[in-house]
Amino acid sequence: MQEREDEMQAAQLLNILIVDDDALIVTILKDILAKSKTRCKIWTAGLGAPALDLITHNRFDIALIDIWLPDVNGLEIIAKLKVINPKTVCHVITSQDDPGYVIQANQLGAEQYILKPFTEKQILDLIETYNSPLLNADG
C-alpha cells in the first residue's frame, strides 16, 4: 500500500533540469522553484557533460538551459535532449541577446528564450503553465 502511494506521489512531481555553470543562478532558480505551487524535483548540472549524462538516464518534464557552458554549447544539449525525449519542454535562460541564438533555439524546439537577469515571475509563470497538462498526461 505504501509503495503504491510513493509511486503516485513520485508521478505527480515535475522533473526539472537546470543546466548552468553559474552556481548563483542555479541557487536563485532553485529558490524560485521552491516557491512554485507545482511540486517538482530539481536536478542540476554545471557543465554540459554531466547534463548529457543526466538526460541519458532520466526523464525530464522541463529543462532550463544556459547557452554558454565551459564544455558544451547549451543548444547542443537541447538538440540531444529533444532526440532522447521529445516531450521535454526546453527553455533557454541566458545572457546571450543574439537573434541568431534565438532562431537556433526555436528551431531546436526550445519553447522560450529568457534573458538574464530574469524575474521571479517569469520563472514561476513558466513552470506553473505546465502544472496541469503534464501531471494529467499519459506516460
Helix, strand and coil percent figures for the chain, each rounded to 5? 50, 20, 30
Domains of the chain: 13-131 (3.40.50.2300)
Assign residue 47 a region (left: φ > 0; alpha: ψ between -120 and 50; beta: otherwise).
beta
DSSP string, 72-92: SBHHHHHHHHHHH-TT-EEEE
For residues 93 and 118, the answer to whether their CB atoms sit within 8 Å is yes
Q: What is the mean pLDDT of the chain?
A: 89
Amino acid identity, residue 21?
D
Per-residue pLDDT tens over the stretch 47-93: 999 999 999 999 999 999 999 999 999 999 999 999 999 999 999 99
